[in-house]
Amino acid sequence: MTIAVTAATGQLGTLVVDALLQRTTPDQIVAIARDAAKAEPLAAKGVEVRIASYDDPTALTDALAGVDQVLLISGNEFGKRGQQHRNVIDAAISQGVSRVVYTSAPQVDTSTLPVAPEHLETEQYLASTDVDHVLLRNNWYHENYASSVETAAATGSVLTSAGDGRVASASRQDFAEAAAVVLTTDAPVKRVYELAGDVAWTQADLATALTDVVGKPVEVANVSSEEQASILTSVGLDAGLVDFIVAVDASIKQGELELATGDLSSLIGRPTTPLAESLRALA
């Protein structure tokens, strides 16, 4: 069985390839990437590298020749992802790929997260086709809080408008291992996995973890959305990023990232990585 991984040189893609190498042989893995030079470390592991971008339907069709399953890792070009994902799905269907596994967003059908619309668009497109597919609705990554380590060290605070909202995040490694399990298992799999960490933490919990990591007290600065936007703008963040951060915190405040289903730990066969452990690694 040949498994293709798109965006294979990305932060998640490289981890998925490594996780697949623990479960199958290199000759069964195809790494699809835009940049051959960045893919050289994967080729050195015996993985076949095929070059294609999400914007090139012809190259994608060629890259998926002879593939049984494809992991479609969502792109990062906001505003273009819907069409890009359709390009991959169409190429997979044209080549007779038996299953498409897609990395989506948590509870995407009801979510107000700014990343949700294009994920929902992709899920709906998959539903309109006849191809077998599995949705991996990945919650937030611990690694999304890498900048919080640096900020906490400098300011001693966590700026947020998320209130008492909780986040059931997990490490990229956890999500990568789950994807590898789904792609290599012979057992029946679910159509939709709501993947999340075992623990849904608050901003106060984040501050506690950061206190341990940076070695000095870190407090929560819980402000309104308007105050948060003003402060972030004053330190030089561009308007698009400010809007994104504030919108994410609003979704967290509404409880949209707190669902801890147990799907993730069940797939990987161990507890998910604690937040503090990932933050220490990032530091």
Domains of the chain: 3-138 (3.40.50.720), 139-170+196-259+273-283 (3.90.25.10)
Closest CA to 113 of 135, 131, 82, 139: 139
Write down the pLDDT at residue 280: 92
In the chain, count H helices and then E strands.
12, 9
27 with 8: CB under 8 angstroms? no
Write down the pLDDT at residue 240: 93
DSSP state letters, 221-256: EE--HHHHHHHHHHTT--HHHHHHHHHHHHHHHTTT
pLDDT in tens, 97-145: 999 999 999 999 999 999 999 999 999 999 999 999 999 999 999 999 9
Provide the residue-wise pLDDT of the chain in tens; the chain has 283 residues: 899 999 999 999 999 999 999 999 999 999 999 999 999 999 999 999 999 999 999 999 999 999 999 999 999 999 999 999 999 999 999 999 999 999 999 999 999 999 999 999 999 999 999 999 999 999 999 999 999 999 999 999 999 999 999 999 999 999 999 999 999 987 767 899 999 999 999 999 999 999 999 999 999 999 999 999 999 999 899 999 999 999 999 999 999 999 999 999 999 999 999 999 999 998 8
Write down the pLDDT at residue 127: 96
Write down the pLDDT at residue 188: 65
Residue 173: half-sphere exposure toward Cβ, Cα within 13 Å: 10
What tokens were used for 117? Answer: 């619309």
Write down the pLDDT at residue 156: 94
Write down the pLDDT at residue 207: 96
